[in-house]
Amino acid sequence: MKRKIRMGMIGGGQGAFIGEVHRMAAALDGHIQLVAGAFSSNAERSALSGQDLYLEKERVYGSYQEMIEAEATLSEEKRLDLISIVTPNHLHFEPAKLALEAGFHVICDKPLCFNLEEAYTLQKLVNEKALIFALTHTYAAYPMVKQAKALIADGKLGTIKKVVVQYPQGWLSTLLEASNQKQASWRTDPTKSGIAGALGDIGTHAYHLAEYITGLQATSICANVNTKVDGRKLDDDNNILLAFNNGAHGVLIASQISAGEANNLNISIYGSLGGVQWSHENPNQLQAKWSDKPDQIFRTGGSEIYPLAQAASRLPSGHPEGYIEAFANIYKNVAMSIQNKLTGTQSKPHHNDFPTIQDGVRGMEFIYACIASGKANHCWTEL
Amino acid sequence: MKRKIRMGMIGGGQGAFIGEVHRMAAALDGHIQLVAGAFSSNAERSALSGQDLYLEKERVYGSYQEMIEAEATLSEEKRLDLISIVTPNHLHFEPAKLALEAGFHVICDKPLCFNLEEAYTLQKLVNEKALIFALTHTYAAYPMVKQAKALIADGKLGTIKKVVVQYPQGWLSTLLEASNQKQASWRTDPTKSGIAGALGDIGTHAYHLAEYITGLQATSICANVNTKVDGRKLDDDNNILLAFNNGAHGVLIASQISAGEANNLNISIYGSLGGVQWSHENPNQLQAKWSDKPDQIFRTGGSEIYPLAQAASRLPSGHPEGYIEAFANIYKNVAMSIQNKLTGTQSKPHHNDFPTIQDGVRGMEFIYACIASGKANHCWTEL
Amino acid sequence: MKRKIRMGMIGGGQGAFIGEVHRMAAALDGHIQLVAGAFSSNAERSALSGQDLYLEKERVYGSYQEMIEAEATLSEEKRLDLISIVTPNHLHFEPAKLALEAGFHVICDKPLCFNLEEAYTLQKLVNEKALIFALTHTYAAYPMVKQAKALIADGKLGTIKKVVVQYPQGWLSTLLEASNQKQASWRTDPTKSGIAGALGDIGTHAYHLAEYITGLQATSICANVNTKVDGRKLDDDNNILLAFNNGAHGVLIASQISAGEANNLNISIYGSLGGVQWSHENPNQLQAKWSDKPDQIFRTGGSEIYPLAQAASRLPSGHPEGYIEAFANIYKNVAMSIQNKLTGTQSKPHHNDFPTIQDGVRGMEFIYACIASGKANHCWTEL
Amino acid sequence: MKRKIRMGMIGGGQGAFIGEVHRMAAALDGHIQLVAGAFSSNAERSALSGQDLYLEKERVYGSYQEMIEAEATLSEEKRLDLISIVTPNHLHFEPAKLALEAGFHVICDKPLCFNLEEAYTLQKLVNEKALIFALTHTYAAYPMVKQAKALIADGKLGTIKKVVVQYPQGWLSTLLEASNQKQASWRTDPTKSGIAGALGDIGTHAYHLAEYITGLQATSICANVNTKVDGRKLDDDNNILLAFNNGAHGVLIASQISAGEANNLNISIYGSLGGVQWSHENPNQLQAKWSDKPDQIFRTGGSEIYPLAQAASRLPSGHPEGYIEAFANIYKNVAMSIQNKLTGTQSKPHHNDFPTIQDGVRGMEFIYACIASGKANHCWTEL
């Protein structure tokens, strides 16, 4: 019989930003119940977070090791199905590995992990186990992004020739990490973030978005990797040329020193017959531009929406769906996939429409290629 | 000790639109748990809905009377705190009355009820009991609507002189009710909707929005009430002149035959020093226009946001919040208010920031005044 | 043989705003040459203006009477063809009458004249003479306004059901006339402007636009006519309900106290099949919204543009045309019409696409009906 | 005494696009009179064009050589002041050289000429003569572009760190030149256009815009130069990384295969304190984004506009000015500069605000650097 999926969370304690988003996303559609957590490596803080979340005391743990070990021993009626990992990059690999080894499905925040070696190890592990591993590239979960993907898959744009994806943020325009601001500190710290700053934090989102929508793969890149704020240890501004496997070219911009920008991810894709444009600032519309007819505006829930996009929306046209709903699309599809496994039901196509370990590995490879190209005076580097 | 608020729902079974929205809104922030429901007057259908929602069988009821009666007898550890009413207009009054009489807090969909008499009876009842009664005028719950309210309350616009609020939809451009489409059928049926169609369904939203933001009250109206689709029994298109208690004037448009429009509620308010504009199509920005300086764009979670607006958002600037989040703001504030009652905690100001029975009564009075004015050849009618 | 049309101007001396616009509009397409003028009732100031404009001294006159008289005696090789009247409202009638009586074609700024009697007298005179009389309702001369007209004439929107036209300006939010600001002073002075302020100045534009695009005529109106600034002698804010001859209804707003607005004329028209929206803030696009397919954006010079609209643009798509170009469309069509008369050539349909004396009379009737309705406590008044 | 500037035109005969634009731009403000022309190398066609333009027969010439020679012999009361060159790239150098040698001021369409050698020769010649040489980089002549320049010069954005300028067009998405379309044919023909296609045609505009607004100079570039349409002989799609002399970086995109785009030039510039964005699709607004306060929208003719921008507009705020007005700003400033020379008057600062021979040379150097970088597998190349 169908039942709610039971979820535990690693990280996301009081003061965290993305943990709260994961919880709202998991709760939204009513298929997942948060029942356990190791919200902090400090047991007391973890307990306080658990209390805020109305969890049973005994299922709030002082460490992720403890949680995974304890939950693995619970009866099938109680045991977690799914573990959500919302820690900084350097704390993805270990908990993910343990969780998978203990037989739990995993949802992990991006980028996949700390370095390329970890990525390949995880990939191997996921492929060995028959477990779900989802990565929260949230932007690809917006209905109008899926509409763009479907239009292209349907051939409406002809052959794809050009991709321009920009991800400007401005919040790191100053040396914010010097004031110990929590979000800035770990993201600019090579011991926690890895070899990249903005490239990993937002560049991987932009890169995934471009590949997801077009169905293409970048084969080589030429990267201008900058650190524009004095004293910063990692990149904060990147301008990258892209070459794709079908001969298309493109540009990817990932910058956290674009002062005044909040979170203005946007993408333009041009084929031989027309183009599409999507912007995260107005996510419920997709503008299509045509060589030989007027522009069209597709809207979430509106006319001529493909099934892939329709499956990702909850409301009639004119009722804006936002970031949490996009995030929830990943959680919903993962929950449906787990439920299908539990009940032996065949998944519908859109149930598999979430980023996987392969997307995670590609993201890590992208980071490494960009850093290599940047160091080599921005010459073209294969991916 | 703080605990999750326990909610039951009346209406909102399979195939309903707004019931699902209420459930997502209630679930989003994690403070409310749906534990019971009378989702349909057909017991079997109610049971199926309950199953979809993973509810305990014994708390899924075949009628609202049954639910209210049964839940009232449960122990304090189990009993509902809150009942959410998401039925058509003619089925608001009875369940609301029973729920209040049984001591439950109530969240009710708009408009308040079927006729003015019911409205006054409910108002009296709510005032007698020390219970919360919230009405889901969702649009007033958007952060940037609250920013507009706060700007005006702070005097930034000077004296308010003019209000233009438009609510164009196009979905009733044809006689959709003739095909038994569920949403259209009851909304255009005088035995279910009451004396008004579009006026009640969306006009009351526009009216509430205008009064909420400005802090003014309309004192008289002059209404052009139209039925533009042959065979329809209620109004589907309204153009209304407004006069406010401070001498300001305005226009309110509520139309469901504006073909091609989805749900394009928008409002412009002008004071002696400047104006503000908000549109539901781009709800996370508020444009302020000034006589003597450049326009400004305020953004959800961005710079110079008033506490009232900040309390209504969950994410950093640049992460769109939509309709469900706005809806959830009402549920969250109601949940906090109930929790405060349970724990004897003082409510924070924004906890009371949700539409109440008084707003519901004003909405009903607005409907009646418009219909009266429309019949009287559109002359000015006091509210 | 084709030759440049020779034009004289009445009004528009140094410091005037609209006279300069008329001159640029006349010059733009190269078919008209300004050769004479009575730019001010002060002969010296008129002479200075003529000098600025590189005119021959002997064709710069100290009064319009003098100019009309003198020019009428010149040889056919030199004599004016066309007189452009750009004075305040109370100085339209006399020069227009004299010019027509002397056989000159006339372009006159709007509104037509000072009162209804003058309007009817001019109408009679124009009808008697075989002369062109054009009125500069500039907004109707934008290519995308003409596209809207053509779409409707072609039946694409079905039966027109609703019109919402708004003309908010904010420049009269304060008692600007108290400081003798030139533009404000005459527009708010009943001895120069007539019985109406904002209604005549911008209301007539909005009214003309609605009738031009839809091809309908308003048959009755219900007007809320306000003066929102203390000490002002004429209306500065108007909210008007409209009923059209095909049964459609609408709203017209004409306000000069909408603080923060520059010149934000915009219109939405809904038919049984879809709607169109045009805004003067983004005049080179026309948004069409459809019941059953995605919105479309038509663009000046772009795809699927009707001949009427194409004839009103000069540049390929993506090259913005603005207010002066729209203005010039009236001048160009008048020039072509005069040239056709001179050369005995048949006019092309779009050559007649400019506002005439009939439009001017309707505008004056609109003003009078609104003022009457406003005084009668806003009851419905026939037009 | 002040008089109209007398202009002759080379090129721009019947069927040309840009010649007509030059003529409207020259006519708009009333300071320039077109009196002569060599509109085509075919004398008959030149004569027909002259007739359309109402010119005196004897001043319509069969070749530019003839025109320059003949006009040079005319008396000072009749002789041309200014020659406007609107031919394809390979026909800029010779007429410009002859005109300058004969003592005429020159306005020339962009890019400056056919190859770098010509550019340096012209530069030397202009520097030797005390003559004006203006290049029509029109986009830099929009008021809101100048506002951006002034904001930056005033330090409002802090240190400039990043520039993203994009110029997507779609009209060459197919092999249009195969059908002998006039505009496409010469632009894609190496014997007429030079070594570059899109780079010269629109890339130089984008490049000039970036340098004009920021006041910076690009010092090296890394170019991905593509020909995306089979059979085409020159580049039609370019993605270019930029490094500036102050350490800033950026991206320049110039593409004519961005299907569905009309002429969508746009630029974003970020400094340490905020950013500005301007788009040619909505040219009368400039959006400023700030790290610590709400976005602002500056408008042509509106509040807080710098003198440099104000001098480039003709109308009050809310009256859109477009492409022809921007073009006319160049002609007006050139006309004023010539008049100042004629009358011995000191030029006002904004009279010199037009692109010069130096901008033309930089544009040619940019083309050459990009082609070199593109051939060298996109490595960084000094400018």
For residue C159, what are the contacts with CB-CB under 8 A and spacing of at least 6? C246, C271, C272
Residues of chain C with CATH 3.30.360.10: 159-271+361-382
Q: At A246, list the tokens.
A: 């079908």
How far apart, in whole angstroms, are the C-alpha atoms of residue A198 and residue A168?
10
Nearest to C322 among D30, D261, D320 (CB): D320
- Chain A interface residues (partner B, CB cutoff 8 A): 2-4, 17, 20-21, 23-24, 27-31, 34, 51, 53-54, 169, 261-264, 280-284, 299, 301-302, 314-325
Tell me the nearest-neighbour CA distance from D140 into chain C, angstroms. 14
Mean pLDDT, residues D47-61 = 97
Q: Is B16 helix (H, G, I), strand (E, B) or coil?
A: coil
Q: Over the stretch A219-251, which tens digit does the pLDDT of each residue have?
A: 999 999 999 999 999 999 999 999 999 999 999
- The pLDDT of residue A2 is 87
B218-226 and B381-382 strand pairing: antiparallel
Q: How many CB pairs below 8 Å do chains C and D form together?
A: 110
Residues B292, D299: C-beta atoms closer than 8 Å: no
A310 CA to chain D: closest CA distance, Å?
A: 25
How far apart CA C271 and CA C253 sit, in angstroms, is 20
- What is the rounded distance in angstroms from the CA atom of residue B379 to the CA atom of residue B162? 20
Give residue B376's pLDDT: 75
CB atoms within 10 A of CB B102: 17
> pLDDT averaged over chain D?
97
pLDDT bucket at B325, cuts 50 / 70 / 90? very high
The bridge status of strand A249-255 relative to strand A266-271 is unpaired
Of A53, A282, A320, the CB nearest to B323: A320
Q: Determine, for residues B259 and C270 on separate chains, whether the beta-carbon distance falls below 8 Å.
A: yes
b/e map A282-301, b = 16+ CB within 10 Å = bbbbbbbbbbeebbbbbbbb
| Nearest CA among B61, B59, B29, B25 for reference residue B45 | B61
Say how far apart CA C85 and CA C96 lie, in whole Å.
7
List pLDDT tens digits, range A169-180.
999 999 999 999
Contacts of B294 in chain D (CB under 8 A): 288, 296-299, 302-304
Q: How confident is the model at residue C378 (pLDDT cuts 50, 70, 90)?
A: low
DSSP letter, residue C154: T
Tokens 């400094």 appear where? D271
- C-beta of residue C143 within 8 angstroms of C-beta of residue C312: yes
Looking at residue B378, its pLDDT comes to: 61
Rounded to a whole number of angstroms, the distance between the first and last alpha carbons of chain B is 45
Q: Which amino acid is at C66?
A: E
Which segments of chain A belong to CATH 3.30.360.10? 142-314+361-382
CATH classification code of A142-314+361-382 = 3.30.360.10
Can you identify the CATH homologous superfamily of domain A5-136?
A: NAD(P)-binding Rossmann-like Domain (3.40.50.720)
- On whether the CB atoms of residues D103 and D128 are closer than 8 A, the answer is no
CB contact under 8 A, C173 and B291: yes
What are the residues of chain C with a beta carbon less than 8 Å away from any beta carbon of chain B? 157-158, 161-162, 164, 166, 168, 170, 173-174, 222, 224, 226, 228, 237, 239, 241, 243, 249-251, 253, 255, 257-261, 268, 270-275, 288-291, 295, 377-380
Q: How many CB pairs under 8 A join A and B?
A: 108
Choose the weakest-confidence range: A319-328, A374-383, B315-324, C358-367.
A374-383
Residue among B108, B216, B114, B115 at smallest CA distance from B165 = B216
As given in the structure block, the two tokens for residue A183 are: 């979000």
Q: Which pLDDT tens digit goes with each residue over A305-359?
A: 999 999 999 999 999 999 999 999 999 999 999 999 999 999 998 999 999 999 9
pLDDT digits (tens, 9 = 90+) for C225-250: 999 999 999 999 999 999 999 999 99
Architecture of the domain delimited by B140-313+361-382: 2-Layer Sandwich (3.30)
CB contact under 8 A, B259 and C157: yes
Contact D39, D45 (CB under 8 A): yes
The Cα–Cα gap between D147 and D313 comes to: 11
Q: Which of A295, A298, A299 sits opposite C297 (nearest CB)?
A: A295
Among chain B residues, CA nearest to A5: B54
Cα separation, B370 vs B46, whole angstroms: 37
Q: Where in chain B is the domain with CATH 3.40.50.720?
A: 5-136
Q: How distant, in Å, are the alpha carbons of A50, A321, B32, C43, D197 from that of B333?
A: 21, 21, 11, 72, 61
Which of A182, A176, A141, A158 is CA-nearest to residue A11?
A: A182
CB-nearest to B377 from C289, C295, C380 is: C380
With CB atoms and an 8 Å threshold, state whether D294 touches B294: no
Mutate which of B182, B315, B327, B331 to test chain A, going by most A C-beta atoms within 10 A?
B315
Average pLDDT, integer, range D146-167? 98
Categorise residue C12: left if φ over 0, alpha if ψ from -120 to 50, beta otherwise: left
Written as six digits, the tokens of B243 are 């006069």
Per-residue pLDDT tens over the stretch D203-213 = 999 999 999 99
A109: three-class secondary structure by DSSP: coil
All residues at 6 or more sequence positions from B148 whose CB lies less than 8 Å from its CB, including other chains:
B213, B267, B269, B276, B278, B286
Do the chains contact at D262 and C317, CB–CB below 8 Å?
yes
Nearest CA-CA partner of D147 in D355, D304, D314, D323: D304
Spell out which residues of chain B touch residue A31, defining contact as CB-CB under 8 Å: 54
Q: Would the CB atoms of C320 and D322 count as touching at under 8 Å?
A: yes
CB contact under 8 A, C27 and D28: yes
Judged by CB atoms closer than 8 Å, whether chains meet at D268 and A168 is answered as yes
Q: What share of chain C is helix, strand, coil (3-state, %, to 5)?
A: 40, 20, 40
Q: Return the CATH superfamily for domain D140-314+361-382.
A: Dihydrodipicolinate Reductase; domain 2 (3.30.360.10)
Angle at A51 between CA A50 and CA A55, to 5 degrees: 60
pLDDT band (50, 70, 90) for residue A379: confident
| Mean pLDDT, residues D85-106 | 98
Given an 8 Å threshold on Cβ–Cβ distance, is C168 in contact with B237?
Answer: no
Cβ separation D318–C17 shorter than 8 A? no
According to DSSP, the residues that pair with D297 across neighbouring strands are B295, D287
Integer Cα distance of D148 and D161 in angstroms: 15
Closest partner residue to D260 (CB to CB) among A222, A241, A275 is: A275
Residue A197: phi and psi, rounded to 5, are -100, -95
Q: Which CATH architecture has domain C159-271+361-382?
A: 2-Layer Sandwich (3.30)
On whether the pTM is more than 0.90, the answer is yes
Confidence of residue A292 (pLDDT cuts 50, 70, 90): very high
Min distance B239 CA to chain C CA atoms (Å): 7
Show which residues on chain A lie within 8 Å of chain D, measured between beta carbons.
Answer: 157-158, 161-162, 164, 166, 168, 170, 173-174, 222, 224, 226, 228, 237, 239, 241, 243, 249-251, 253, 255, 257-261, 268, 270-275, 288-291, 295, 377-380
Give the minimum alpha-carbon distance from D317 to chain B in angstroms, rounded to a whole number: 11
Q: What is the reported pLDDT for D62? A: 96
* DSSP state, residue C201: I
Question: Residue D15: its pLDDT value, please?
Answer: 78
Residue-wise pLDDT for D312-336, tens only, equals 999 999 999 999 999 999 999 999 9
In chain B the beta strands, taken as DSSP E runs, fall at: 5-10, 32-38, 82-85, 105-108, 133-135, 160-168, 218-226, 237-244, 249-255, 266-271, 274-279, 285-290, 295-299, 381-382
First-to-last C-alpha distance (Å) of chain A: 45
In the prediction, which pLDDT does C16 show? 79
In this structure, are residues C374 and C240 in contact, taking their beta carbons and an 8 Å threshold?
Answer: no
With beta carbons less than 8 A apart as the criterion, state whether A5 and A82 touch: yes
In what helix (H) or strand (E) does residue D359 lie, and over which residues does it extend? Answer: helix D357-375
Collect all residues from A whose CB is shorter than 8 A from any CB in C.
287-288, 290, 292-299, 302-304
Counting residues of chain A whose pLDDT is more than 90, the rounded percentage is 95
pLDDT for res D375: 86
B268-302 pLDDT, tens per residue? 999 999 999 999 999 999 999 999 999 999 999 99
* Nearest Cβ partner for B162 among C161, C258, C270: C258
Q: Do C295 and A293 touch (CB under 8 A)?
A: no
Beta-carbon-side half-sphere exposure of residue A83 (alpha carbons within 13 Å): 30
Mean pLDDT over the full length of chain C? 97
> What's the distance, CA C61 to chain centroid?
26
Distance CA C9, CA B171 (A): 52
Helix H segments across chain C?
18-28, 43-52, 64-72, 93-101, 116-128, 143-153, 182-187, 190-193, 198, 204-214, 307-310, 323-343, 357-375
Q: Which of D292, D296, D302 comes nearest B296 by C-beta?
A: D296
pLDDT tens by residue, B88-110: 999 999 999 999 999 999 999 99
CB pair distance less than 8 Å for C296 and A294? yes
C-alpha pair distances (Å), C184 with each of B33, C368, D299, D369: 62, 21, 22, 56
